[in-house]
Amino acid sequence: MSRFTAYVVNSFQFYGSYSASGFMHVIQRNAILASTLLFLCSTTSTGAQNSDVRVMAAPVTVCELPIEHEDMSRANEHTRRVRGNYDPNARGRATFNVTYNGFSGPAQTAFQFAVDIWEQHIESNVPIKVTANWVPLAGNILGSAGAALVHRDFPGAPIANTWYGSALADALAGIDLSPAGSDINANFNSTFPNWYFGTDGNTPGGQTDFVTVVLHELGHGLGFFGTMEVDNGTGAQECDGVNGNGCWDLGAPNEFPAVYDRFAEDGPGIALINTGTYPNPSAALGSALRSNSVHFDGAQVVATIGMRGPLYAPTVWNAGSSYSHWNEASFPAGDPNSLMTPFISAGESIHSPGAVTCAAFEDVGWTLGTACSILVANEPEALIAEGESLENAYPNPFSNKATLTLRVDRSQHVRAVLYDLLGRQIVLLYDGDVRAETPITLFVEGGSLRPGVYFVRVAGEQFVTTRQVVRVD
């Protein structure tokens, strides 16, 4: 007998929303939760499988985006943009089915552009269902999006007693665990006056790039979220009503963490869900979450950037920005990894998840699509057999031409391809036989390339490896 559980969380208000004044990731709990809705369950039996569905009041995650950095339109193009136009001929490895409600034509085009980018970065055999609403939103909130459901202990779940967002859970299970509902719900402000709906990454000063906002919010819906928070001691209880106490769960203390939570550590490397060191809830956990030293310790993240992923953990808890984002100081405006940080600048465009986010997605359970695999160098030098080597590009960065030399210890067929940051094939560099101990030189011509980061992927019959090259003016 197998069991799997899903939380229906009010269209999962575990969602991020962008605003012109602050990027917040706030989890609010309903104080009546434990006595009313927490154990409202229905259990059905079909043969050998039981399913438990828990309906609970929403843990609301609100993300607000402050436009408080310098206007990035004044920066040079390489600094302010991580861009790449959607290639309509590229085949995505995931399918998003979006239901658009009330969108203007330009807004829908930009939203779909962001969706198409994500399709090339992750893999799923189960269509990802998104409900997108173009509606007036209160105050300066730009938009919101997040997972509509969370599941645990479903068939194919990698880690027991752990919550997964619906889209990721479906991908892991290989079936639609909630066929009647959306996986991600999204709302964006139809009355905000300063949207930039272009898809070229040329966001003017004073405007907010809609594609970047949608990419960010969908990132939360796809799994970049945790449940940790710090109680402010007033109003509705975030944890237990004690000011400064930290906690984690989806509404029932000491229950189950989200998969993202399982990778969170303090500076010395102690897991934040280790209740021996950090009881749930406790002042100790609250202090750790405000220590400026919280890290995502996933094997793929460490392999990609050479260290644990630094999470945003300011000394004053920022209900909304703290914890469920990368540290802004580590990946500042214009950095290729800055999509999932808590702030965006006017005129800034980030049209790629970045290597560190792709690596974190692999750590939480996603199978990466080609675009993400290229970014994280998911096929490292260690996969080259002994006696085979690909030298680093020279010069690098380059303007006119970069060269790489390949040697193999046995004759074989080799294919070398240049990709851009979105994982799109730019040019076939080589496709043919290479003789043993006879080096070949690969040339990356800069004349037709825009300035930016590219990747040379070389695959033989028994090896594969990737090198990064940077084209500059």
Domains of the chain by start residue, with CATH = 2-373 (no CATH), 381-471 (2.60.40.2550)
What length is written for the chain? 473
- CA distances, 291 to each of 227, 279, 309, 314 (Å): 17, 17, 15, 7
| Residue corresponding to tokens 């907010």 | 208
Using an 8 Å Cβ cutoff, are 291 and 313 in contact?
A: yes
Helix (H) or strand (E) holding 372: helix 370-375
- pLDDT at position 45, please? 25
Q: What are phi and psi of 305, to 5 degrees?
A: -115, 0
Residues 437, 440: Cα–Cα separation, whole Å: 10
Higher pLDDT, 124 or 90: 124
pLDDT at 280 over 80: yes
Q: Which of 33-47, 237-251, 260-274, 363-377 has the lowest mean pLDDT?
A: 33-47
The percentage of the chain sitting over the pLDDT mark of 90, rounded to a whole number, equals 50
Q: Which of 12-21, 134-143, 339-348 has the lowest mean pLDDT?
A: 12-21
CA 238 to chain centre: 25
pLDDT class for 461, splitting at 50, 70, 90?
confident
Burial of 331: CB neighbours in 10 Å, binned 0-12, 13-18, 19+: buried
Q: Which residues of 243-260 are buried (b: 16+ CB within 10 A; e: fewer)?
A: ebbbbbbbbeeeebbbbb
Residues 51, 458: Cα–Cα separation, whole Å: 46
pLDDT at 117 over 90: yes
pLDDT at 292 over 70: yes
Q: Among the residues of 185-232, which ranges form H helices?
A: 210-222
- pLDDT at position 373, please? 84
Using an 8 Å Cβ cutoff, are 3 and 153 in contact?
A: yes
pLDDT at 81 over 60: no
Mind listing the pLDDT tens digit for each residue in 401-422? 999 999 888 899 998 989 876 6
Reduced to 3 states (helix: H, G, I; strand: E, B; else coil), residue 113 is helix
pLDDT at 343 over 80: yes
Q: Which of 20-34, 75-89, 269-283 has the lowest mean pLDDT?
A: 20-34
Peptide bond just before 59 cis, omega within 30 deg = no
- pLDDT at position 253, please? 58
Using an 8 Å Cβ cutoff, are 164 and 77 in contact?
A: no
Residues 425, 91: Cα–Cα separation, whole Å: 11
pLDDT class for 262, splitting at 50, 70, 90?
very high
Average pLDDT over residues 365-373: 90
Helix (H) or strand (E) holding 112: helix 105-119
pLDDT class for 72, splitting at 50, 70, 90?
very low
Residue 309: CA atoms inside 13 Å, Cβ hemisphere, count?
Answer: 31
Residues contacting 377, CB < 8 A, separation 6+: 304, 355, 455, 466, 468
Residues 21, 182: Cα–Cα separation, whole Å: 29
Looking at residue 64, its amino acid is E
The packing angle between helices 105-119 and 210-222, to 10°, is 50
- pLDDT at position 332, please? 85
| Residue corresponding to tokens 């899903």 | 6
Residues 36, 427: Cα–Cα separation, whole Å: 59
| Residue corresponding to tokens 């999006």 | 145
- CA distances, 170 to each of 119, 153, 361 (Å): 15, 12, 15
Residues 13, 30: Cα–Cα separation, whole Å: 12
Nearest in space to 12 (alpha carbons), one of 61, 51, 53, 54: 61
Residues 45, 47: Cα–Cα separation, whole Å: 6
* Mean of pLDDT over the chain: 79
Residues 136, 265: Cα–Cα separation, whole Å: 39
Secondary structure (DSSP) of 34-88: HHHTTTEEEEEEETTEEEEEEE----BB-------S--GGGS-HHHHEE-----T
Q: Is the dihedral of CA 324, 326, 332, 338 positive or negative?
A: negative
pLDDT class for 233, splitting at 50, 70, 90?
very high
